[in-house]
Structure 1
């Protein structure tokens, strides 16, 4: 799950008290955290806990990122930490948060915002941070038409990573003030822009623990972004390294048998179970089919002469014989009948499924498809 990347960063950074603020349709996420992240020592006061809306302050759902923390101020009153780190659960990156903490101390800051340097022509898609030569934030603008550049480098800008580190007393004060005002109750749109007027707020330049030439940080806010991030994992030299033993990425691993590839003895007739440049999880059986540049979740079946390319296939999916799938996200428990074609005819796909602007086909969980689902419609 996407949240595993943020939680792995917390664990690898030495953070031992983590609250995950969840909202609607949270049962699956809550179960994942309880079963996959039960790694802390409760006797030492350590925990990773999912916290649904407590409605102690308001009967409303969370109205924004800042409001979510405001409605859970009782956690800060209970734990009484000196510092609070605010993170997003839908970003993929590797980062040692303790280095950001040391930066806050060194600068004497009330708050620090994680920042990644990006080409200035891409900055219009981000919340952009303007800093002075000491990295103190002087302006914070959401998706500007004319973004400010990094000092002494007109080709680059600082984009906000949605990572905020606060001194607890300052955070509490700012959240209470924000709750009394209108607006989006958002850290990037409200809290930080108000603080930089008279508070020492600094940017922390992202140091990537991914150990690649290009820094890796992805905001998985759209289906296309989610698909692209998965495709980043399957290259021969992947942009994001899942196999770094020094910075492990944890998740919940079910008790499934190893993946199996069968019918290789019939290769002369074209019937060979094979997966190339792909990630295949336990419980999968590639039974005379071909998988390429794809990610297969546990217990997927790919049957005779099926061809799956550039796709993400979730748990318990069956892809029937002689079926072709290209550039698709197929959610759990979908059964695709034999001789189907998905991703080869946009008009036909759009009549049955969700198709993004880029042409990515998305099939919802548990969808039951009819036989002879081919590109002719």
Structure 2
């Protein structure tokens, strides 16, 4: 079944500089999460679970791996109108510029959208972790007679300065909006939220960057080339002119904006009752790889997620996410770490023939703590990596330290006996 009324538009974001070095060679939506998924799988899966199966993903930076992932993952019936297509920034007769902002990305791609029959455009971000029932949001949008609906999330005063903050009336109609307000302005922007949210000090309604636009209004708004961003221009200008509703959401949601939030979101999956639940009926879809089961020998595991195809001989792994095809050697201890895994297996014959000193993965007798290990890394025997606030921010050819988190770059070779 396909919801023919809705077209999904997923914004891939800009250069992703705050997630660097994970975005050095890939776009933000293509960054691996939870050991086997990509960030873009989250909005796509939320759409599929709501029977929205016509989607465009807009991107302009390092889109090759994203293209490959989507091409290899989202196959629908030949006899269906369902699709997930990547639209990269392109020069046209109307524009020779790259996307200048979120609204400009949609504007430059409108000629592709308008080839399809749809009533509502569902505009999403490609770098958020959440599980939302879009069917309910669309139903509320229709019932209210709104022209625009914005999903909103209660945040505390500290976080409020990083979001678009809005106020509503008793009918959830949005009456005012301010983008990233200064702290001294916040007292005037408190909202009436649930008692649970009040108890957590989350008194401000933030825009989640999830919008529903009626088709006719979207076409009208996109006709003005001077407005390039939804949060800064389109939404503030539309309020008062067009009926704009808030869709309150109080489930788990996080904006994967920087290395710290990315690290926290992934390690949070190891909790006994994780806030983002991968184990319910609202499935997260990804590429169906034909990998063997993971093999674990003499290893103590605690609060750890292990993906398919791993070979693990470690002494202990605790509060860590271990991605596909990972290899971890003997007497190694891994804690508070996200290891993304590998894109390939390496045989002993390959290692010998190519005179490779470090096998892909983590070697023997290593100690790894507070670390993100990107794909296809080679960490030699007896390496000690101990991330934490005692470390200063620094970047080398093979790793970067950000806010105490050691990020080993994709494909890096860390020689035997290295200490970080």
| Fold-level similarity (TM above 0.5) | yes
CA distance in 1, matches of 2:387, 2:158: 33
- Output the CA distance in 1 between the equivalents of 2:387 and 2:217: 55
Unaligned residue ranges in structure 2 (runs of 5+): 1-37, 343-359
1:297 CA displacement: 1.0
Give the Cα–Cα distance (whole angstroms) in 2 for the partners of residues 373 and 77 of structure 1.
55
Q: Which residue of 1 aligns with 2:413?
A: 368
Where does the alignment leave 5 or more consecutive residues of structure 1 unmatched? 209-214, 263-271
2:48 is the alignment partner of 1:48: no
Distance in 2 (CA, whole Å) between partners of 1:78 and 1:26 is: 23
CA distance in 1, matches of 2:295, 2:174: 53
Query: Which residue number in structure 2 is paired with residue 14 of structure 1?
Result: 51
CA change 1:355–1:168 in 2 (3 A) is: same
Query: What residue in structure 2 maps to residue 197 of structure 1?
Result: 240
Counterpart Cα distance in 2 of 1:335 and 1:75 = 43
Aligned to 2:349: none
Match of 1:247 in 2: 282
Deviation, structure 1 residue 197: 3.3
Deviation at 1:117, TM superposition (A): 2.0
* Partner of residue 302, structure 2: 276
In the TM superposition, what is the alpha-carbon distance from 1:77 to its structure 2 partner? 2.0
Aligned counterpart for 1:37 among listed residues 74, 77, 80: 74
Q: CA RMSD in A?
A: 1.9
Deviation for aligned residue 1:356: 1.3
**Shift of residue 284, structure 1, vs aligned partner:** 0.8
Q: Check 1:165–1:320 CA distance in 2 against 1; reply closer, same or farther (3 A cut).
A: same
Distance 2:40 2:141 in 1: 25
Q: Which secondary structure does the structure 1 equivalent of 2:413 belong to?
A: coil
Cα distance in 1 between the residues matched to 2:136 and 2:69 = 28
| Cross-structure match for 1:111 | 148
Q: Which has the higher contact order (CA 8 A, sep 6+)?
A: 2
Structure 1 position 171 matched with structure 2 position 218: yes
Larger mean CA deviation between 120-129 and 105-114 belongs to 120-129
TM-score, reference length from structure 2 = 0.80
Contact 1:21 1:50 in 2 (8 A): yes
* 2:380 is the alignment partner of 1:354: no
1:79-127 deviations in whole A, cap 9, x for unaligned?
A: 1311111000101111111211111112111101110123345322321
Q: Which residue of 1 aligns with 2:371?
A: 328
Shift of the alpha carbon at 1:22? 2.0
Structure 1 CA distance, aligned partners of 2:119 and 2:387? Answer: 55
* Deviates further, 118-127 or 299-308: 118-127
- Shift of the 373–44 alpha-carbon distance from structure 1 to 2, 3 Å rule, reads same
Which stretch of structure 1 is more off in the superposition, 114-123 or 62-71? 114-123
State the match for 1:211 in structure 2.
Answer: none
**CA pair 344-111 structure 1, distance change in 2 beyond 3 A:** closer
TM-score, with structure 1 as normaliser:
0.88
Query: Equivalent of 1:341, from 384, 408, 416?
Result: 384
Aligned match of 1:269? none
Preserved CA contact (<8 Å) 2:387 2:406: no
